[in-house]
Amino acid sequence: MKLSEFIALPEDHKRLTVFKESVAIAKRELPDKLVFLFQLKEYYIEAFCCCKTNEVLEYRVFFDTEQLAPYLEDIRIDQLLN
């Protein structure tokens, strides 16, 4: 599925597409939100979820790997260096 096709989907179809067709990569915590990172084909999807209700509040999609920085900071490479 192309990025433009994903963006045009209704919210319920986005949810199904993310959970059935993408690969979960990482998660991070924000105040009152959990953000889950998925990869689908050649782009990434962030699902912003409410910590209280577990409801998906928003999907953000991007190609640019620079936007992966918040996730990469949490990857520990200490063991790889030893």
78 has pLDDT over 70: no
72 has pLDDT over 70: yes
Structural domains of the chain ordered from first start: 3-81 (3.30.67)
The tokens describing 63, both together, are 């190609």
Q: Which residue has the tokens 């996730």?
A: 71
Q: How many Cβ atoms are within 10 Å of 49's Cβ, its own excluded?
A: 19
pLDDT tens-place string over residues 11-60:
999 999 999 999 999 999 999 999 999 999 899 999 999 999 989 999 99
CA 27/CA 7 separation, integer angstroms:
21
- E strands, the chain, are 23-30, 33-40, 43-50, 56-62
